[in-house]
Chains A and B, each alone.
Chain A
């Protein structure tokens, strides 16, 4: 139990000592992605093999060992999930990818014992063939700047001592003993940090309102209801560095005068819930959460609340309603939560990533943070890179980096055989951008100018075979089903818009419908109660703006230029290219393909379900749509 700041400093020294004594540290990624690829098996096999070889192994930082032990730990997400399972070996930061159980023998014998790298597991650049020994040399990482994700993949998220050894809880100690609450708010204002959940509202300003609001009881809520399809940074922080989230909440609590906090986590993130619960219990046990923390006079407790599956709960006032046990429906603002929030008390709601930036800002100063990013949007931002891009994963870059650098330098460009068409940024509230925007600087204001938004930071790359009308329809069907139904423009407007979009993709829409769609989009944008409805038309409006010709082709010519809308396509087999291998006939779920062996096959239009399986499977590119 830590009673004073000195106790914490002493503990940190001890933890750092334990870290120094480690001869080597093997970190096996245990993020959701790598676990799905079998990383826990690799972890167990490593421990087993090292012990077999008579090496001293430790799994927790503070385990007492006589000699220099070899530490084997699980870590949080590295962000490069596609390459998993990932293994990082300290102190050099050696980076192995696609590690299987069968590779464990070589890692132990070759790397740990003989001190030689296992070449085949190192990253090799797909074009230049250059081999990267350490993680920092991999192009996916070398252009990143990690603040919020600083520890993700570097420490063991289940071990509070590991966090303490890496300057954990030093920011709260500094804040409690060296700064007044106003000074904390000023430092955050100075840093220029803006809400990372999507809106981009200055965090310090939000705090000022809550600090000035009258009330005995105040609350801090961490918004971990990351519902945007295509974004997973909050999940990675909660899973990979849970103590950082707690520390961020404590700083916020101290600044506004709150003594209680809630973390609202999506129901779809069971691992995040588990790690956060453990982190809270460990922090309580050490006296870093609870009454009179480190004898500072400041008390704080944190609860975890699991969501129940409602996208609208990402909206502040709906989230509050959900914590109160009601249907998650938004309320009109004002009053803002900073004045009247949870149970009528002044409340601030900050996103996970926003909170994860705070310990670094308070420890190193607002000026340090401002050195990254642009004038209007300082700092770094994590983006979830997904879709038809060669390297998918989580990246953290300084604000103001161009879309081109993110997609092509870090993401490695498009997947094999795909050609760049568009990037969807910011999920269902964001917009679709085209090739002409590739040199756009990614920050709050630049993106707003072109009708998109940073949103939660989802970046989905799409190739030429993606139909933009279909994409707009996809997002509209998402918001339509997630609309809570409270206000008419959102409830009815999204439904009507979805109907029109569906008609367009089926070739049943007229030019009148196209006008109506646009008109409706502006009505929903202006008239909706909360952010969900206000931003719901963005994907439609941006695609109408940048891909109008595609809409017109569907409406006028009844054609889908991308060849994606199946109602507007018929499938054919090119008799010149078909070798008669019969693969398509075997995989066709409708049994629509027939033909003699080694003779060109044909497709029965009446039976064809237009599912596209045959195109996927054909090795000779003999099947086409028209």
Chain B
């Protein structure tokens, strides 16, 4: 069992790096989320206390922006673009295919084994390659089809 001190050590380092300034709340949350892959409730409470902000302010910001997640995300975050260009080129079919493959229910975005998260995103700005899918923001797949996304999922599963 990790001691609380050790658990929040990294967190405190991030807050210190930004000198605990209230104006830096968003970059702090971004960096913390990168560390924990999501923003656990206790972490948000800790940030509020350490930065001398009301918890409501911190929760308010964390729930306002789409980038922040208060529930754990999967190891692989698959983002399916639903910008106008992707939408008219059939991105919904890709979404359905991958959600079916991963057995995701309507209100569920992450698989139970925390391997995959499937998200829709309003526009990734690669409209020339529509429909576009990204994995963990690093791999970009253009001109996707329902079959190809299944191949990508298969490949990721093999990587474990």
Bound CA span A19–B26, Å: 42
Q: Nearest B residue to A322 by beta-carbon distance?
A: B26
What is B's interface to A at a CB cutoff of 8 Å? 21-27, 29-30, 57, 60-61, 64-68, 82-85, 87-90, 93, 96-97, 100, 121-130, 132, 137, 140-142, 146
Indicate the member of B84, B97, B122 with the most A CB atoms within 10 Å: B84
B10 to chain A, nearest CB (A): 20
**Shortest distance between the CB of B48 and any CB in chain A (Å):** 13
Stretch of A64-72, A325-333, A600-608 lying at the B interface: A325-333
- Is B66's CB under 8 angstroms from A388's CB? no
Q: Give CA–CA (A394, B127) in the complex, Å.
A: 9
In the assembly, what is the distance between CA of A507 and CA of B57, in Å?
Answer: 43
Chain B residues near A270 (CB, 8 Å)?
137
List B contacts of A589 (CB < 8 A). Answer: 96-97, 100
- The yes or no answer to A37 lying at the interface (CB within 8 A) is yes
Q: Give chain B nearest CB distance to A31 CB in angstroms.
A: 9
B122 close to A460 (CB less than 8 A): no
16 residue pairs from A and B, CB less than 8 Å apart: A81-B129, A227-B122, A230-B83, A230-B123, A232-B123, A266-B125, A268-B125, A307-B67, A308-B30, A308-B66, A310-B64, A325-B21, A384-B127, A466-B88, A475-B84, A616-B93
Look across to chain A and name the residue whose beta carbon is closest to the beta carbon of B88: A387
Indicate whether A308 sits within 8 Å of B123 (C-beta atoms), given known contacts A36-B129, A36-B141, A388-B88.
no
Q: Which residues of B contact A268 (CB under 8 A)?
A: 121, 123-125
Verify if A613 is at the interface (C-beta below 8 Å from B): yes
Rounded to whole Å, the gap between the CB of B128 and the closest CB of chain A is: 3
- Asked whether B84 lies within 8 Å of A458 as measured between CB atoms, the reply is yes
* Docked CA distance A269–B24 (Å): 20
Which chain A residues (215-233) contact chain B, with CB distance < 8 Å?
A: 226-232
Pick the contact of B128: A311, A386, A458, A471 (CB < 8 A): A386
Q: How far is A325 from B57 in the complex, measured between Cα atoms in Å?
A: 10
Residues of B within 8 A of A227 (CB): 122-123
Q: Using Cβ atoms and an 8 Å threshold, which residues of chain B touch A474?
A: 84, 87
Q: Is the CB of A328 within 8 A of B128?
A: no
Is A427 located at the chain interface by the 8 A CB criterion? yes
Q: A35-B140, A309-B67, A323-B23 are in contact. Are A611 and B93 (CB under 8 A)?
A: yes
* Docked-complex contact A36 and B125, CB < 8 angstroms: no
**In this assembly, does A392 line the interface, its C-beta being within 8 Å of a C-beta of chain B?**
yes
Q: Is A306 an interface residue (CB 8 A)?
A: yes
State in angstroms the CA–CA spacing of A306 and B31 once bound together. 11
| Closest beta carbon of chain B to A389's beta carbon, Å | 10
- Contact between B128 and A392 (Cβ–Cβ < 8 Å)? yes
Q: List B contacts of A36 (CB < 8 A).
A: 126, 129, 132, 140-142
Q: Which residue of A lies closest to B61 (CB)?
A: A327
Given contacts A33-B142, A309-B68, 4 further A-B contacts (CB under 8 A): A228-B123, A230-B85, A231-B123, A308-B66
CA distance A325 to B24 in the complex (A): 6
- Output the nearest chain B residue to A230 by Cβ-Cβ distance: B84
Q: B96: which A residues are within 8 A, CB to CB?
A: 589, 611
Give Cα distance in the complex from A326 to B93, angstroms: 37
Query: In the complex the two chains form, is A80's CB within 8 Å of B128's CB?
Result: yes
CA distance A32 to B137 in the complex (A): 11
Residues of A within 8 A of B27 (CB): 305-306
* 7 nearest A-B residue pairs (beta carbon): A81-B128, A309-B66, A386-B85, A229-B83, A308-B65, A230-B84, A36-B140
Are A325 and B23 in touch, CB under 8 angstroms?
yes
Judge whether A27 is part of the interface by a CB distance below 8 angstroms: no
User: In whole angstroms, how far apart are the Cα atoms of A79 and B126 in the complex?
Assistant: 10
In the bound complex, CA of A251 to CA of B88 (Å):
40
| Cβ-neighbour of A392 out of B61, B68, B85, B100 (below 8 A) | B85
Residue in chain B with minimal CB distance to A458: B84
B80–chain A nearest beta-carbon distance, Å: 13
On whether the beta carbons of B65 and A309 are closer than 8 Å, the reply is yes
Flag whether A267 is at the interface (Cβ < 8 A): yes
Within 8 A of B (CB), among A312-364: 322-328
In the assembled complex, the Cα of A458 lies from the Cα of B123 at a distance in Å of: 12
Q: Closest residue of chain B to A308, judged by CB? A: B65
The answer, yes or no, to whether A494 is at the interface (CB within 8 Å) is no
Question: Which residue on A lies nearest to B29, using beta carbons?
Answer: A308
Q: Check: A93 CB closer than 8 A to any chain B CB.
A: no
* Residue of B22, B90, B123, B126 with highest tally of chain A CB at under 10 A: B123
Look across to chain A and name the residue whose beta carbon is closest to the beta carbon of B82: A229
Chain B residues closer than 8 Å to A230, beta-carbon distance: 83-85, 123, 127
B24, B29, B128: the one within 8 Å of A394 (CB):
B128
Q: Which residues of A contact B84 (CB under 8 A)?
A: 229-230, 386-387, 424, 427, 458, 460, 474-475
Check if A88 is an interface residue, CB within 8 A of chain B.
no
- The answer to whether residues A37 and B142 also contact, given A325-B24, A387-B84 and a CB cut-off of 8 A, is yes
Q: Which residues of B contact A308 (CB under 8 A)?
A: 26, 29-30, 65-68
Among A267, A305, A325, A386, the residue within 8 A (CB) of B67 is: A267
Residues in chain A near residue B126, CB distance under 8 A: 32-33, 36, 81, 232
List, in ascending order, chain A residues with CB within 8 A of B65's CB. Answer: 307-310, 327-328
Chain A residues whose CB sits within 8 angstroms of the CB of B23 once the complex forms: 323-325
A155 located at the interface, meaning its Cβ lies under 8 Å from any Cβ of chain B in the complex: no
- Determine whether A462 belongs to the interface, using a CB cutoff of 8 Å to chain B: yes
- Judge whether B83 and A310 touch: CB under 8 Å: no
Residue of A230, A270, A393 with most partner-chain B CB within 10 A: A230
Partner of B25, one of A35, A325, A427, A471: A325
A420 at the interface (CB under 8 A from B): no
A82 at the interface (CB under 8 A from B): yes
Known contacts A230-B123, A268-B124: A460-B67 contact under CB 8 Å: no
Give the shortest distance, in Å, between B47 (CB) and chain A (any CB).
Answer: 12
Q: Chain A contacts of B83 at CB under 8 A?
A: 229-230
* Shortest CB distance A581–B (Å): 17
User: Is the Cβ of B85 less than 8 Å from the Cβ of A460?
Assistant: yes
* A82-B128, A270-B137 as given contacts; A310 in contact with B66, CB under 8 Å: yes
CA distance A392 to B57 in the complex (A): 43
Quick one: CB contact mask for A366-403 with B, threshold 8 Å, 1 for yes? 00000000000000000010111000111000000000
